[in-house]
Amino acid sequence: MGILQVQDVNKSFGGLKALHNVNLDVEEGAVHAIIGPNGAGKSTLLNCFVGRLKPDTGSVMFNGTSLLGIAPHEINQAGVARVFQTPEIFGDLSLIENVMIPTFAKRDGAYTVNAWGRIDQAAEIREKAEHILEDVGLAEKQEMHANSLSRGDKRRLELAMCLVQEPKLLLLDEPTAGMSRADTNNTIDLLKRIGERGITKIVIEHDMHVVFSLASKISVLAQGTVIAEGAPEEIKGDPRVQEAYLGGAHL
Ligand SMILES: Nc1ncnc2c1ncn2[C@@H]1O[C@H](COP(=O)(O)OP(=O)(O)OP(=O)(O)O)[C@@H](O)[C@H]1O
């Protein structure tokens, strides 16, 4: 039985059926990619996992617990973290502060600011944050303001903010969007290294180089329906996928 089980999920926006009887079984430790053309329903599905949207019908079970009807922060506390398409970071704070905040938020439900307008620097939390910044290759920039980072580094910082929460399931929404090829390859390497920690990952991605470098399983969505599912090699050769995804072009 998978760590995340999605059964018969339907979601409509007015007359538009964005998700139609979607089923998904994500195995623990897997890198499960969700691919599909623009408007296929990928983000809508991800939003149903993190409490941003509620399916009209169906169930989403994580580790045996339903994720439906509980608040986003409770889903987060249950061990689900998400990296967004546009990094959600605190631009005026340093990198180290950015990485410390989620730990406070998880522990206290908020973070505390002292009289100097700095976040309180509990030693053990700072140490943990330093290790994570080292892991994502940002150790040397830890005192810089997050605003001053390049786009690629901002995404790495957001990843660090997720990792510090020690999630069981990491949701990555286009983790390499807008990156140069070099940054994309660095991110692939980084995500592979993170894989060694046994964190299950769901990746939404348009870049097939990223998908085929990382995924152990791929689900293909088209017009709100899962049209194919399997190992990367199976998906690559599936004519339905080539037709739906690229209008017949080869993946
Ligand atoms: N809040 C909303 N209100 C109305 N329609 C929406 C809403 N969110 C998504 N949709 C529609 O639902 C469909 C699925 O959108 P979704 O963003 O999930 O697709 P996607 O596969 O993530 O696309 P992309 O790859 O372009 O990000 C689209 O037709 C979109 O216009």
pLDDT per residue over 141-177, tens digit each?
999 999 999 888 888 899 899 898 889 999 999 888 8
Kindly state if the Cβ of 36 falls inside 6 Å of ligand 1.
yes
Q: How far apart are alpha carbons 156 and 104 in whole angstroms?
A: 20
Q: What is the mean pLDDT of residues 56-75?
A: 92
**230 in a domain, yes or no?**
yes
107 pLDDT band, cuts 50/70/90, is: low
Answer whether residue 116 shows pLDDT above 60: no
Mark whether 86 and 138 lie in a shared domain.
yes
Mean pLDDT of 109-116: 55
Q: Are residues 139 and 87 in the same domain?
A: yes
Q: Number of structural domains, the chain? A: 2
Structural domain of 112 = 80-166
94 and 27 within one domain: no
Q: Are 87 and 160 contained in the same domain? A: yes
Question: Domain check: are 89 and 64 in the same one?
Answer: no
Domain assignment of residue 192, yes or no: no
Taking CA atoms only, the protein residue closest to ligand 1 atom 29 is 39
Q: Is 245 in the pocket of ligand 1 (CB under 6 A)?
A: no
Confidence check: pLDDT of 201 > 60: yes
HEC string of the chain equals CCCEEEEEEEEEECCEEEEEEEEEEECCCCEEEEECCCCCCHHHHHHHHCCCCCCCEEEEEECCEECCCCCHHHHHHCCEEEECCCCCCCCCCEHHHHHHHHHHHHHHCCCCECCCCCECCCHHHHHHHHHHHHHCCCHHHCCCEHHHCCHHHHHHHHHHHHHCCCCCEEEEECCCCCCCHHHHHHHHHHHHHHHCCCCEEEEECCCHHHHHHHCCEEEEEECCEEEEEECHHHHHCCHHHHHHHHCCCCC
- pLDDT bin (cut points 50, 70, 90) of residue 119 is low
**CA 11–ligand 1 middle distance (angstroms):** 11
| Same domain, yes or no: 134 and 109 | yes
Task: Examine residue 218 and state whether it is found in any structural domain, yes or no.
Answer: yes
Of 122, 143, 166, the one marking the end of a domain is 166
In a domain, 127, yes or no: yes
The tens digit of pLDDT for each residue in 10-62 reads 999 999 999 999 999 999 999 999 999 989 999 999 999 998 999 999 999 99
Does residue 110 surpass a pLDDT of 70? Answer: no
Q: For residue 193, how far is its CA from the centre of ligand 1 (angstroms)?
A: 31
Residue 220 domain-assigned? yes
Confidence of residue 198 (pLDDT cuts 50, 70, 90): confident
Verify whether ligand 1 is closer than 6 Å to residue 37 (CB atom): no
CATH number of the domain at 86, please. Answer: 3.40.50.300
Average pLDDT over residues 98-123: 65
In a shared domain, residues 101 and 155? yes
